Amino acid sequence: MSKQKSYSLLLSIALFTMLGIAVFLQLRSSWTMQRIEEQRLAKRLSDDVHFLIETTKQDLLFQAFITNTHRTNFADALISFNGFEYAMFQWQCQQNTPSLFDSLFVYSQKQNKIYKWTGVSLKETTIPSSGILGTLTSFIQNNPVFQTQKIASLKTGQILIVEPLYLAELDSHIYILSFINKEHFFYNLLVFNTEKCVQESKDFFFRIRDTESDTVLYESEPDCPPYFFDNPDFAIALMQLDKSISIMSNKKMKENQNTDAEVQADKFYEIVEKPFQQENLVLEVIHRQGSLLKASARNMMLTIASSLIVLIVLGITMVLLVLNMRKAERLATSQQEFISTITHELKTPIAIISAAAQNMSDGVITSPERICYYGNLINKENERLKSTIEYFLLYSKITTGTNLKHEKHDLCSLVKDEINHWELPWKTNNFQIETNIPNKEILIYCDKTAILSAIDNLISNAYKHSKKGKFTSISLSLENCPLKIMRHSFTPSNTKQAAILRIKDHGEGIPKSEQNTIFEPFVRGKAAHNNQIEGSGVGLNLVKRIMNLHNGLVILENSSCAGTTFALVFPVVHEKQET
Protein backbone atom coordinates (compact mmCIF):
# COMPACT_ATOMS: atom_id res chain seq x y z
CA MET A 1 0.00 0.00 0.00
CA SER A 2 2.93 2.35 0.71
CA LYS A 3 4.16 1.75 -2.85
CA GLN A 4 0.74 2.71 -4.19
CA LYS A 5 0.84 5.93 -2.15
CA SER A 6 4.31 6.80 -3.46
CA TYR A 7 3.15 6.13 -7.03
CA SER A 8 0.11 8.35 -6.42
CA LEU A 9 2.33 11.13 -5.06
CA LEU A 10 4.72 10.92 -8.01
CA LEU A 11 1.83 10.94 -10.46
CA SER A 12 0.30 13.99 -8.72
CA ILE A 13 3.62 15.87 -8.91
CA ALA A 14 4.00 14.94 -12.59
CA LEU A 15 0.45 16.06 -13.43
CA PHE A 16 0.76 19.43 -11.70
CA THR A 17 4.20 20.00 -13.23
CA MET A 18 2.72 19.38 -16.66
CA LEU A 19 -0.14 21.76 -15.82
CA GLY A 20 2.35 24.48 -14.82
CA ILE A 21 4.30 24.01 -18.06
CA ALA A 22 1.03 24.18 -20.01
CA VAL A 23 0.12 27.48 -18.30
CA PHE A 24 3.55 28.96 -19.10
CA LEU A 25 3.43 27.84 -22.73
CA GLN A 26 -0.12 29.15 -23.12
CA LEU A 27 0.81 32.60 -21.77
CA ARG A 28 3.84 32.73 -24.03
CA SER A 29 1.74 31.62 -26.99
CA SER A 30 -0.87 34.31 -26.19
CA TRP A 31 1.81 37.01 -26.13
CA THR A 32 3.15 35.79 -29.49
CA MET A 33 -0.36 35.68 -30.92
CA GLN A 34 -0.89 39.30 -29.83
CA ARG A 35 2.16 40.39 -31.82
CA ILE A 36 1.05 38.34 -34.82
CA GLU A 37 -2.45 39.83 -34.61
CA GLU A 38 -1.02 43.36 -34.51
CA GLN A 39 1.12 42.64 -37.56
CA ARG A 40 -1.80 41.01 -39.37
CA LEU A 41 -4.12 43.97 -38.81
CA ALA A 42 -1.39 46.46 -39.72
CA LYS A 43 -0.50 44.52 -42.87
CA ARG A 44 -4.14 44.26 -43.96
CA LEU A 45 -4.69 47.96 -43.43
CA SER A 46 -1.41 48.84 -45.16
CA ASP A 47 -2.43 46.78 -48.19
CA ASP A 48 -5.84 48.48 -48.30
CA VAL A 49 -4.31 51.96 -48.10
CA HIS A 50 -1.71 51.13 -50.75
CA PHE A 51 -4.53 49.91 -53.00
CA LEU A 52 -6.39 53.18 -52.34
CA ILE A 53 -3.37 55.29 -53.29
CA GLU A 54 -2.72 53.30 -56.48
CA THR A 55 -6.40 53.44 -57.46
CA THR A 56 -6.45 57.22 -56.99
CA LYS A 57 -3.28 57.62 -59.06
CA GLN A 58 -4.83 55.56 -61.87
CA ASP A 59 -7.88 57.82 -61.81
CA LEU A 60 -5.75 60.96 -62.05
CA LEU A 61 -2.77 59.90 -64.18
CA PHE A 62 -3.06 58.32 -67.61
CA GLN A 63 0.43 56.84 -67.42
CA ALA A 64 -0.36 55.16 -64.07
CA PHE A 65 -3.48 53.67 -65.68
CA ILE A 66 -1.50 52.32 -68.64
CA THR A 67 1.27 50.96 -66.39
CA ASN A 68 -1.08 49.13 -64.01
CA THR A 69 -3.53 47.87 -66.65
CA HIS A 70 -1.98 44.85 -68.30
CA ARG A 71 -3.99 44.53 -71.50
CA THR A 72 -2.65 43.52 -74.91
CA ASN A 73 -4.89 46.02 -76.74
CA PHE A 74 -3.03 48.84 -74.96
CA ALA A 75 0.29 47.76 -76.48
CA ASP A 76 0.12 50.44 -79.17
CA ALA A 77 -1.20 53.15 -76.83
CA LEU A 78 2.10 55.03 -77.15
CA ILE A 79 2.71 54.07 -80.78
CA SER A 80 -0.30 55.09 -82.86
CA PHE A 81 -2.72 57.94 -82.38
CA ASN A 82 -5.70 55.58 -82.66
CA GLY A 83 -4.23 53.28 -80.00
CA PHE A 84 -3.65 56.28 -77.77
CA GLU A 85 -7.22 57.48 -78.33
CA TYR A 86 -8.62 54.02 -77.47
CA ALA A 87 -6.56 53.91 -74.27
CA MET A 88 -7.85 57.38 -73.37
CA PHE A 89 -11.40 56.12 -73.86
CA GLN A 90 -10.77 53.14 -71.58
CA TRP A 91 -9.15 55.40 -68.98
CA GLN A 92 -12.19 57.64 -68.88
CA CYS A 93 -14.60 54.69 -68.82
CA GLN A 94 -13.05 53.31 -65.65
CA GLN A 95 -13.62 56.63 -63.89
CA ASN A 96 -16.15 56.26 -61.10
CA THR A 97 -16.65 60.03 -60.84
CA PRO A 98 -17.42 61.31 -64.39
CA SER A 99 -17.42 64.95 -63.27
CA LEU A 100 -13.88 64.69 -61.91
CA PHE A 101 -12.32 66.37 -64.98
CA ASP A 102 -13.62 69.82 -65.85
CA SER A 103 -11.80 69.50 -69.16
CA LEU A 104 -9.19 67.25 -70.74
CA PHE A 105 -6.88 68.19 -73.62
CA VAL A 106 -4.06 66.58 -75.57
CA TYR A 107 -1.44 68.98 -76.98
CA SER A 108 1.00 68.02 -79.77
CA GLN A 109 4.13 70.12 -79.39
CA LYS A 110 5.59 69.35 -82.85
CA GLN A 111 2.35 70.00 -84.72
CA ASN A 112 1.32 72.77 -82.33
CA LYS A 113 -2.18 71.28 -82.31
CA ILE A 114 -4.54 70.73 -79.42
CA TYR A 115 -7.26 68.10 -79.12
CA LYS A 116 -10.18 68.22 -76.72
CA TRP A 117 -11.61 65.09 -75.19
CA THR A 118 -15.33 64.89 -76.00
CA GLY A 119 -16.07 61.89 -73.80
CA VAL A 120 -15.63 59.29 -76.53
CA SER A 121 -12.85 60.64 -78.74
CA LEU A 122 -10.32 63.42 -79.28
CA LYS A 123 -11.44 66.36 -81.42
CA GLU A 124 -9.03 68.95 -82.75
CA THR A 125 -9.78 72.47 -81.59
CA THR A 126 -8.29 75.92 -81.98
CA ILE A 127 -5.61 76.98 -79.54
CA PRO A 128 -6.89 80.12 -77.82
CA SER A 129 -4.58 83.11 -77.87
CA SER A 130 -5.35 83.96 -74.26
CA GLY A 131 -6.66 82.32 -71.13
CA ILE A 132 -5.28 79.39 -69.19
CA LEU A 133 -5.09 76.99 -72.14
CA GLY A 134 -3.33 79.48 -74.43
CA THR A 135 -0.90 80.48 -71.71
CA LEU A 136 -0.18 76.84 -70.86
CA THR A 137 0.46 75.73 -74.47
CA SER A 138 2.74 78.72 -75.08
CA PHE A 139 4.61 77.97 -71.88
CA ILE A 140 5.08 74.32 -72.93
CA GLN A 141 6.40 75.36 -76.36
CA ASN A 142 9.03 77.66 -74.91
CA ASN A 143 10.00 75.82 -71.71
CA PRO A 144 11.90 72.53 -71.37
CA VAL A 145 10.63 72.07 -67.79
CA PHE A 146 7.69 70.03 -69.08
CA GLN A 147 9.74 66.97 -69.97
CA THR A 148 8.35 65.32 -66.80
CA GLN A 149 4.90 65.09 -65.23
CA LYS A 150 3.81 68.25 -63.42
CA ILE A 151 1.03 69.10 -60.98
CA ALA A 152 -0.12 72.49 -59.74
CA SER A 153 -3.00 74.18 -57.92
CA LEU A 154 -4.61 76.88 -60.07
CA LYS A 155 -6.29 80.07 -58.93
CA THR A 156 -9.45 78.86 -60.66
CA GLY A 157 -9.86 76.24 -57.91
CA GLN A 158 -8.69 73.45 -60.19
CA ILE A 159 -5.80 71.02 -60.04
CA LEU A 160 -3.69 70.94 -63.19
CA ILE A 161 -1.77 67.81 -64.18
CA VAL A 162 0.53 67.84 -67.21
CA GLU A 163 1.69 64.44 -68.50
CA PRO A 164 4.27 64.40 -71.34
CA LEU A 165 4.26 61.35 -73.63
CA TYR A 166 6.13 60.45 -76.80
CA LEU A 167 3.92 59.15 -79.60
CA ALA A 168 5.92 57.20 -82.17
CA GLU A 169 3.47 57.61 -85.07
CA LEU A 170 3.59 61.40 -84.84
CA ASP A 171 7.28 61.44 -83.89
CA SER A 172 6.29 64.07 -81.40
CA HIS A 173 5.85 64.75 -77.71
CA ILE A 174 2.24 65.08 -76.72
CA TYR A 175 0.96 66.44 -73.43
CA ILE A 176 -2.19 65.37 -71.58
CA LEU A 177 -3.57 68.48 -69.88
CA SER A 178 -5.99 67.46 -67.11
CA PHE A 179 -8.03 70.15 -65.38
CA ILE A 180 -9.41 68.44 -62.27
CA ASN A 181 -12.32 69.80 -60.27
CA LYS A 182 -10.89 70.10 -56.77
CA GLU A 183 -14.27 69.81 -55.04
CA HIS A 184 -15.12 66.61 -56.92
CA PHE A 185 -11.65 65.29 -56.25
CA PHE A 186 -11.91 65.91 -52.50
CA TYR A 187 -15.53 65.01 -51.85
CA ASN A 188 -16.30 62.47 -54.57
CA LEU A 189 -13.26 60.62 -55.85
CA LEU A 190 -11.39 60.29 -52.56
CA VAL A 191 -14.56 59.35 -50.69
CA PHE A 192 -15.60 56.77 -53.28
CA ASN A 193 -12.16 55.18 -53.47
CA THR A 194 -11.81 55.12 -49.70
CA GLU A 195 -15.14 53.36 -49.30
CA LYS A 196 -14.24 50.93 -52.09
CA CYS A 197 -10.68 50.15 -51.04
CA VAL A 198 -10.55 50.60 -47.28
CA GLN A 199 -14.09 50.45 -45.96
CA GLU A 200 -14.00 46.64 -46.07
CA SER A 201 -11.80 46.83 -42.97
CA LYS A 202 -14.78 46.88 -40.63
CA ASP A 203 -12.58 46.94 -37.55
CA PHE A 204 -11.45 50.53 -38.16
CA PHE A 205 -12.77 54.10 -38.26
CA PHE A 206 -11.51 56.29 -41.15
CA ARG A 207 -11.49 59.92 -42.00
CA ILE A 208 -9.82 62.10 -44.64
CA ARG A 209 -8.55 65.42 -43.37
CA ASP A 210 -7.09 68.46 -45.09
CA THR A 211 -4.34 69.40 -42.65
CA GLU A 212 -3.86 72.84 -44.20
CA SER A 213 -7.40 74.00 -43.44
CA ASP A 214 -7.96 71.41 -40.69
CA THR A 215 -11.12 70.32 -42.47
CA VAL A 216 -12.56 66.81 -42.32
CA LEU A 217 -13.48 65.83 -45.87
CA TYR A 218 -14.84 62.37 -45.11
CA GLU A 219 -15.71 60.18 -42.11
CA SER A 220 -16.56 56.49 -42.28
CA GLU A 221 -18.68 56.85 -39.13
CA PRO A 222 -20.12 60.35 -38.65
CA ASP A 223 -21.02 59.48 -35.04
CA CYS A 224 -17.43 58.58 -34.17
CA PRO A 225 -16.16 60.89 -31.38
CA PRO A 226 -13.49 63.34 -32.67
CA TYR A 227 -11.14 62.55 -29.78
CA PHE A 228 -10.78 59.03 -31.21
CA PHE A 229 -8.43 60.48 -33.82
CA ASP A 230 -6.18 62.34 -31.35
CA ASN A 231 -3.65 59.51 -31.66
CA PRO A 232 -4.55 57.57 -34.82
CA ASP A 233 -3.03 54.18 -35.54
CA PHE A 234 -2.10 55.37 -39.04
CA ALA A 235 -1.89 58.81 -40.68
CA ILE A 236 -0.97 58.44 -44.35
CA ALA A 237 -0.76 61.03 -47.15
CA LEU A 238 -3.21 60.04 -49.88
CA MET A 239 -1.39 61.75 -52.76
CA GLN A 240 1.91 59.93 -52.75
CA LEU A 241 3.16 60.91 -56.20
CA ASP A 242 6.22 59.39 -57.81
CA LYS A 243 9.51 61.27 -57.85
CA SER A 244 9.04 61.66 -61.60
CA ILE A 245 6.01 63.91 -60.89
CA SER A 246 7.27 67.29 -59.77
CA ILE A 247 5.34 70.08 -58.09
CA MET A 248 5.09 73.30 -60.13
CA SER A 249 5.98 76.39 -58.17
CA ASN A 250 4.11 79.68 -58.28
CA LYS A 251 7.40 81.57 -58.47
CA LYS A 252 9.40 82.43 -61.57
CA MET A 253 12.43 80.22 -62.12
CA LYS A 254 15.86 81.83 -62.13
CA GLU A 255 16.97 80.24 -65.39
CA ASN A 256 18.18 82.34 -68.32
CA GLN A 257 15.26 82.53 -70.72
CA ASN A 258 14.59 84.46 -73.90
CA THR A 259 12.17 87.31 -73.86
CA ASP A 260 9.20 85.32 -75.20
CA ALA A 261 9.76 82.57 -72.65
CA GLU A 262 9.91 85.10 -69.82
CA VAL A 263 6.65 86.66 -70.93
CA GLN A 264 4.93 83.27 -71.15
CA ALA A 265 6.39 82.25 -67.79
CA ASP A 266 5.07 85.42 -66.16
CA LYS A 267 1.63 84.72 -67.58
CA PHE A 268 1.70 81.09 -66.48
CA TYR A 269 2.84 81.75 -62.91
CA GLU A 270 0.05 84.28 -62.59
CA ILE A 271 -2.53 81.48 -62.93
CA VAL A 272 -0.78 79.13 -60.47
CA GLU A 273 -2.18 79.74 -57.02
CA LYS A 274 0.40 77.78 -55.02
CA PRO A 275 2.41 74.58 -55.17
CA PHE A 276 0.24 71.49 -54.84
CA GLN A 277 0.67 70.25 -51.28
CA GLN A 278 0.23 66.50 -51.66
CA GLU A 279 0.96 65.89 -47.98
CA ASN A 280 -2.05 67.99 -46.91
CA LEU A 281 -4.57 65.23 -47.72
CA VAL A 282 -4.20 62.69 -44.93
CA LEU A 283 -6.07 59.45 -44.33
CA GLU A 284 -6.34 58.86 -40.57
CA VAL A 285 -7.19 55.40 -39.28
CA ILE A 286 -8.05 54.30 -35.75
CA HIS A 287 -9.25 50.91 -34.52
CA ARG A 288 -12.78 50.73 -33.15
CA GLN A 289 -11.42 49.59 -29.78
CA GLY A 290 -9.55 52.89 -29.39
CA SER A 291 -6.24 51.75 -30.83
CA LEU A 292 -4.70 48.80 -32.59
CA LEU A 293 -2.72 48.02 -29.44
CA LYS A 294 -5.87 47.93 -27.31
CA ALA A 295 -7.62 45.71 -29.85
CA SER A 296 -4.78 43.21 -29.99
CA ALA A 297 -4.47 43.34 -26.18
CA ARG A 298 -8.20 42.67 -25.88
CA ASN A 299 -7.95 39.74 -28.28
CA MET A 300 -4.99 38.47 -26.30
CA MET A 301 -6.96 38.75 -23.04
CA LEU A 302 -9.87 36.86 -24.58
CA THR A 303 -7.46 34.17 -25.75
CA ILE A 304 -5.82 34.04 -22.33
CA ALA A 305 -9.21 33.93 -20.60
CA SER A 306 -10.47 31.08 -22.77
CA SER A 307 -7.15 29.28 -22.37
CA LEU A 308 -7.20 29.76 -18.60
CA ILE A 309 -10.74 28.38 -18.47
CA VAL A 310 -9.54 25.29 -20.32
CA LEU A 311 -6.51 25.05 -18.02
CA ILE A 312 -8.69 25.52 -14.93
CA VAL A 313 -11.00 22.76 -16.13
CA LEU A 314 -7.93 20.64 -16.80
CA GLY A 315 -6.56 21.49 -13.35
CA ILE A 316 -9.86 20.64 -11.67
CA THR A 317 -9.92 17.39 -13.63
CA MET A 318 -6.40 16.61 -12.42
CA VAL A 319 -7.34 17.44 -8.82
CA LEU A 320 -10.43 15.24 -9.06
CA LEU A 321 -8.32 12.50 -10.60
CA VAL A 322 -5.83 12.68 -7.74
CA LEU A 323 -8.64 12.78 -5.16
CA ASN A 324 -10.34 9.81 -6.80
CA MET A 325 -7.05 7.95 -6.84
CA ARG A 326 -6.58 8.57 -3.14
CA LYS A 327 -10.20 7.69 -2.49
CA ALA A 328 -9.72 4.47 -4.44
CA GLU A 329 -6.64 3.73 -2.34
CA ARG A 330 -8.60 4.33 0.86
CA LEU A 331 -11.46 2.22 -0.47
CA ALA A 332 -9.07 -0.61 -1.34
CA THR A 333 -7.60 -0.44 2.17
CA SER A 334 -11.07 -0.33 3.72
CA GLN A 335 -12.21 -3.26 1.61
CA GLN A 336 -9.25 -5.31 2.77
CA GLU A 337 -10.06 -4.43 6.38
CA PHE A 338 -13.73 -5.21 5.69
CA ILE A 339 -12.85 -8.65 4.33
CA SER A 340 -10.66 -9.29 7.38
CA THR A 341 -13.47 -8.18 9.69
CA ILE A 342 -16.08 -10.31 7.90
CA THR A 343 -13.73 -13.27 8.00
CA HIS A 344 -13.29 -12.77 11.73
CA GLU A 345 -17.03 -12.25 12.30
CA LEU A 346 -17.80 -15.51 10.49
CA LYS A 347 -14.87 -17.61 11.67
CA THR A 348 -15.33 -16.89 15.38
CA PRO A 349 -18.84 -18.38 15.79
CA ILE A 350 -17.99 -21.19 13.36
CA ALA A 351 -14.87 -22.07 15.39
CA ILE A 352 -16.84 -22.06 18.66
CA ILE A 353 -19.64 -24.17 17.18
CA SER A 354 -17.11 -26.58 15.66
CA ALA A 355 -15.15 -26.97 18.90
CA ALA A 356 -18.27 -27.49 21.02
CA ALA A 357 -19.74 -30.00 18.59
CA GLN A 358 -16.40 -31.87 18.39
CA ASN A 359 -16.19 -32.15 22.18
CA MET A 360 -19.74 -33.44 22.39
CA SER A 361 -19.30 -35.96 19.56
CA ASP A 362 -16.00 -37.25 20.97
CA GLY A 363 -17.63 -37.94 24.35
CA VAL A 364 -15.44 -35.43 26.14
CA ILE A 365 -18.57 -33.84 27.60
CA THR A 366 -20.75 -36.34 29.47
CA SER A 367 -22.51 -34.53 32.29
CA PRO A 368 -26.01 -33.24 31.51
CA GLU A 369 -25.17 -29.76 32.82
CA ARG A 370 -22.13 -29.43 30.54
CA ILE A 371 -24.05 -30.83 27.58
CA CYS A 372 -26.79 -28.24 28.21
CA TYR A 373 -24.16 -25.48 28.49
CA TYR A 374 -22.51 -26.48 25.22
CA GLY A 375 -25.89 -26.77 23.53
CA ASN A 376 -26.79 -23.22 24.60
CA LEU A 377 -23.36 -22.03 23.44
CA ILE A 378 -23.85 -23.61 20.01
CA ASN A 379 -27.33 -22.09 19.76
CA LYS A 380 -26.04 -18.65 20.81
CA GLU A 381 -23.19 -18.68 18.29
CA ASN A 382 -25.56 -19.98 15.64
CA GLU A 383 -27.87 -17.01 16.27
CA ARG A 384 -24.86 -14.70 16.12
CA LEU A 385 -23.80 -16.23 12.80
CA LYS A 386 -27.36 -16.01 11.48
CA SER A 387 -27.63 -12.37 12.56
CA THR A 388 -24.33 -11.51 10.86
CA ILE A 389 -25.38 -13.16 7.61
CA GLU A 390 -28.80 -11.46 7.66
CA TYR A 391 -27.08 -8.14 8.34
CA PHE A 392 -24.89 -8.41 5.27
CA LEU A 393 -27.77 -9.73 3.18
CA LEU A 394 -29.70 -6.60 4.17
CA TYR A 395 -26.72 -4.44 3.19
CA SER A 396 -26.55 -6.20 -0.17
CA LYS A 397 -30.29 -5.75 -0.64
CA ILE A 398 -30.08 -2.03 0.15
CA THR A 399 -27.01 -1.32 -2.01
CA THR A 400 -28.34 -3.20 -5.05
CA GLY A 401 -31.55 -1.14 -4.99
CA THR A 402 -33.92 -4.01 -4.24
CA ASN A 403 -37.37 -2.63 -3.45
CA LEU A 404 -38.26 -2.52 0.23
CA LYS A 405 -41.70 -3.36 1.57
CA HIS A 406 -43.11 -0.06 2.87
CA GLU A 407 -45.96 -0.38 5.33
CA LYS A 408 -47.46 1.83 7.99
CA HIS A 409 -45.83 1.33 11.41
CA ASP A 410 -45.78 3.06 14.76
CA LEU A 411 -42.26 4.44 15.22
CA CYS A 412 -42.72 4.57 19.01
CA SER A 413 -43.39 0.82 19.12
CA LEU A 414 -40.37 0.07 16.93
CA VAL A 415 -38.07 2.11 19.18
CA LYS A 416 -39.50 0.49 22.33
CA ASP A 417 -38.91 -2.97 20.82
CA GLU A 418 -35.26 -2.11 20.26
CA ILE A 419 -34.94 -0.74 23.80
CA ASN A 420 -36.35 -4.00 25.18
CA HIS A 421 -33.90 -5.95 23.00
CA TRP A 422 -30.93 -4.06 24.50
CA GLU A 423 -32.16 -4.05 28.08
CA LEU A 424 -30.23 -7.17 29.12
CA PRO A 425 -26.79 -6.06 27.73
CA TRP A 426 -27.23 -2.63 29.34
CA LYS A 427 -28.18 -4.17 32.68
CA THR A 428 -25.35 -6.69 32.53
CA ASN A 429 -22.74 -3.95 31.94
CA ASN A 430 -24.31 -1.44 34.37
CA PHE A 431 -25.23 1.14 31.72
CA GLN A 432 -27.18 4.23 32.69
CA ILE A 433 -30.13 4.52 30.30
CA GLU A 434 -32.33 7.55 29.65
CA THR A 435 -35.36 7.23 27.39
CA ASN A 436 -38.00 9.73 26.36
CA ILE A 437 -40.54 8.06 24.08
CA PRO A 438 -44.04 9.56 23.61
CA ASN A 439 -47.01 7.42 24.62
CA LYS A 440 -48.93 8.33 21.48
CA GLU A 441 -48.57 6.84 18.02
CA ILE A 442 -46.15 8.34 15.50
CA LEU A 443 -46.94 6.69 12.20
CA ILE A 444 -44.41 6.32 9.39
CA TYR A 445 -44.27 4.34 6.15
CA CYS A 446 -41.26 2.04 6.31
CA ASP A 447 -39.76 -1.37 5.84
CA LYS A 448 -39.84 -2.67 9.41
CA THR A 449 -36.74 -4.86 9.14
CA ALA A 450 -34.67 -2.08 7.56
CA ILE A 451 -35.70 0.58 10.11
CA LEU A 452 -35.10 -1.77 13.05
CA SER A 453 -31.66 -2.50 11.59
CA ALA A 454 -30.89 1.24 11.33
CA ILE A 455 -31.99 1.91 14.94
CA ASP A 456 -30.18 -1.18 16.20
CA ASN A 457 -27.00 -0.11 14.42
CA LEU A 458 -26.91 3.29 16.14
CA ILE A 459 -27.73 1.79 19.57
CA SER A 460 -25.05 -0.86 19.00
CA ASN A 461 -22.47 1.82 18.16
CA ALA A 462 -23.42 3.80 21.28
CA TYR A 463 -23.07 0.61 23.35
CA LYS A 464 -19.71 -0.47 21.89
CA HIS A 465 -18.07 2.98 21.91
CA SER A 466 -19.17 4.10 25.40
CA LYS A 467 -18.26 1.18 27.63
CA LYS A 468 -16.17 3.58 29.70
CA GLY A 469 -18.89 6.22 29.97
CA LYS A 470 -21.65 3.57 30.19
CA PHE A 471 -24.42 5.95 29.24
CA THR A 472 -27.02 5.87 26.47
CA SER A 473 -29.86 8.33 25.90
CA ILE A 474 -32.71 7.63 23.46
CA SER A 475 -35.36 10.28 22.77
CA LEU A 476 -38.11 10.63 20.18
CA SER A 477 -39.91 13.90 19.40
CA LEU A 478 -42.12 15.57 16.80
CA GLU A 479 -41.05 18.86 15.18
CA ASN A 480 -42.61 21.09 12.54
CA CYS A 481 -41.22 21.36 9.01
CA PRO A 482 -39.31 22.90 7.37
CA LEU A 483 -36.69 21.63 9.76
CA LYS A 484 -33.04 22.62 10.08
CA ILE A 485 -30.56 20.47 11.97
CA MET A 486 -26.94 21.55 11.84
CA ARG A 487 -26.17 22.19 8.15
CA HIS A 488 -29.05 20.01 6.98
CA SER A 489 -32.56 21.07 6.05
CA PHE A 490 -35.57 18.74 5.92
CA THR A 491 -38.56 19.86 3.87
CA PRO A 492 -40.69 16.88 2.78
CA SER A 493 -43.34 17.64 0.17
CA ASN A 494 -46.15 15.56 1.68
CA THR A 495 -45.97 16.26 5.42
CA LYS A 496 -45.75 19.17 7.82
CA GLN A 497 -44.05 17.31 10.69
CA ALA A 498 -40.99 15.15 11.18
CA ALA A 499 -40.10 12.60 13.85
CA ILE A 500 -36.56 12.89 15.23
CA LEU A 501 -34.96 9.97 17.04
CA ARG A 502 -31.80 11.01 18.91
CA ILE A 503 -29.33 8.44 20.29
CA LYS A 504 -26.62 9.86 22.54
CA ASP A 505 -23.64 8.29 24.31
CA HIS A 506 -20.82 9.38 26.61
CA GLY A 507 -18.02 7.85 24.56
CA GLU A 508 -14.75 9.37 23.34
CA GLY A 509 -16.42 11.12 20.41
CA ILE A 510 -15.48 11.13 16.72
CA PRO A 511 -12.45 13.24 15.70
CA LYS A 512 -13.22 16.10 13.31
CA SER A 513 -10.82 14.63 10.75
CA GLU A 514 -13.03 11.52 10.52
CA GLN A 515 -16.48 13.12 10.70
CA ASN A 516 -16.74 13.72 6.93
CA THR A 517 -16.08 10.06 6.07
CA ILE A 518 -18.03 8.13 8.72
CA PHE A 519 -20.95 7.48 6.33
CA GLU A 520 -18.72 6.07 3.59
CA PRO A 521 -18.61 2.28 3.14
CA PHE A 522 -15.81 0.18 4.68
CA VAL A 523 -14.58 3.09 6.82
CA ARG A 524 -13.65 2.52 10.47
CA GLY A 525 -12.17 5.08 12.82
CA LYS A 526 -8.77 4.87 14.48
CA ALA A 527 -10.36 4.34 17.89
CA ALA A 528 -12.20 1.25 16.60
CA HIS A 529 -8.90 -0.19 15.34
CA ASN A 530 -6.88 0.74 18.42
CA ASN A 531 -9.47 -0.51 20.92
CA GLN A 532 -10.28 -3.59 18.79
CA ILE A 533 -13.98 -2.78 18.80
CA GLU A 534 -16.10 -5.18 16.80
CA GLY A 535 -17.56 -3.83 13.57
CA SER A 536 -17.58 -4.20 9.80
CA GLY A 537 -17.25 -0.58 8.63
CA VAL A 538 -20.52 -0.64 6.70
CA GLY A 539 -22.98 0.06 9.52
CA LEU A 540 -23.36 3.84 9.21
CA ASN A 541 -23.33 3.61 5.42
CA LEU A 542 -26.17 1.08 5.68
CA VAL A 543 -28.09 3.44 7.99
CA LYS A 544 -27.65 6.30 5.53
CA ARG A 545 -28.87 4.18 2.60
CA ILE A 546 -31.89 2.97 4.59
CA MET A 547 -32.87 6.52 5.58
CA ASN A 548 -32.47 7.76 2.00
CA LEU A 549 -34.83 5.03 0.81
CA HIS A 550 -37.35 6.25 3.40
CA ASN A 551 -36.97 9.94 2.40
CA GLY A 552 -35.34 10.60 5.75
CA LEU A 553 -31.98 11.72 7.10
CA VAL A 554 -29.26 10.44 9.39
CA ILE A 555 -27.21 13.25 10.93
CA LEU A 556 -24.16 13.43 13.16
CA GLU A 557 -25.70 16.12 15.34
CA ASN A 558 -22.91 16.47 17.88
CA SER A 559 -19.58 14.84 18.67
CA SER A 560 -17.00 15.82 21.26
CA CYS A 561 -14.91 14.28 23.99
CA ALA A 562 -18.09 14.26 26.11
CA GLY A 563 -19.93 11.98 23.70
CA THR A 564 -21.71 11.66 20.37
CA THR A 565 -25.30 12.28 19.27
CA PHE A 566 -26.83 10.82 16.11
CA ALA A 567 -30.28 11.80 14.84
CA LEU A 568 -32.66 9.90 12.57
CA VAL A 569 -35.27 12.11 10.86
CA PHE A 570 -38.49 10.52 9.52
CA PRO A 571 -41.40 12.05 7.59
CA VAL A 572 -44.61 11.51 9.59
CA VAL A 573 -47.88 10.13 8.19
CA HIS A 574 -50.91 12.34 8.96
CA GLU A 575 -54.57 11.41 9.00
CA LYS A 576 -55.25 13.11 5.64
CA GLN A 577 -52.50 11.05 4.07
CA GLU A 578 -53.99 7.85 5.48
CA THR A 579 -57.37 8.55 3.92
Q: What is the pLDDT of residue 410?
A: 93
- Supply the pLDDT for residue 273: 60
Cis before 482 (ω within 30) = yes
Q: Which domain holds residue 481?
A: 403-578
Measured in degrees and rounded to the nearest 5, phi and psi for residue 126 equal -80, 140
Q: pTM above the 0.95 mark?
A: no
**Highest mean pLDDT pick, 194-208, 337-351, 414-428, 473-487:** 414-428
Last residue of a domain, one of 288, 308, 343: 288
Q: Is residue 54 part of a domain?
A: no
Whether 424 contacts 449, CB under 8 Å? no
Contacts of 216-225 with CB under 8 Å at 24 or more apart are 217/186, 217/187, 217/190, 217/191, 217/281, 218/187, 218/190, 218/191, 218/194, 220/194, 220/195
Q: Judge if 408 and 552 occupy the same domain.
A: yes
Residue-level pLDDT at 498: 87
Q: Write down the pLDDT at residue 334.
A: 63
387-401, 512-526, 540-554: segment of lowest average pLDDT: 387-401
Q: What confidence score (pLDDT) does residue 435 get? A: 92
What is the share, in percent, of the chain residues with pLDDT greater than 70? 77
For the chain, give the mean pLDDT.
77
Stretch 150-156: mean pLDDT: 81
Q: What is the pLDDT of residue 254?
A: 44
**Looking at the domain assignment, is residue 394 inside a domain?**
no
Give the distance, in angstroms, between the CA of residue 330 and the centroid of all CA atoms in the same chain.
Answer: 36
Amino acid residing at 184: H
Regarding whether 127 and 267 lie in a shared domain, the answer is yes
Q: Give the pLDDT confidence score for residue 342 in this predicted structure.
A: 65
> Is residue 268 domain-shared with residue 408, that is, in the same domain?
no
Q: Name the range with the highest mean pLDDT among 106-110, 209-213, 291-295, 358-362.
A: 106-110
Q: Which of 212, 276, 271, 267 minimizes the C-alpha distance to 248?
A: 276
Helix (H, G, I), strand (E, B) or coil at 362: coil
DSSP 8-state symbol, 534: -
In the 8-state DSSP scheme, what is residue 116? E
The pLDDT value recorded for residue 401 is 60
Q: CATH no. for residue 514?
A: 3.30.565.10
Out of 258, 288, 318, pick the residue that ends a domain: 288
Quick one: 407 and 274 in the same domain? no
Strand pairing category for 563-571 and 113-117: unpaired
Task: Tell me the per-residue pLDDT of 422-477, one tens digit each, with 9 for 90 and over.
Answer: 888 888 888 889 999 998 899 998 888 888 888 988 888 888 887 677 888 999 99
C-alpha distances in Å from residue 107, one per residue of 98, 102, 175:
22, 17, 5
Q: Which residues contact 207 (CB under 8 A, 6 or more apart)?
A: 216, 217, 218, 219, 220, 224, 229, 283, 284
Domain stops at, among 288, 310, 334? 288
Per the domain annotation, does 21 fall within a domain?
no
159 DSSP 8-state letter:
E
Please indicate, yes or no, if residue 314 is contained in any of the structural domains: no
User: How many domains does the chain contain in total?
Assistant: 2
Residue scoring higher pLDDT (26 or 73): 26
85-139 residue pLDDT tens: 888 888 887 777 777 888 889 888 888 888 898 888 888 888 887 778 888 888 7
Distance CA 517, CA 326 (A): 13
- What pLDDT digit, counting tens, does each position of 219-239 carry? 888 777 777 788 887 787 776
| 10-24, 87-101, 532-546, 547-561 — most confident range | 547-561
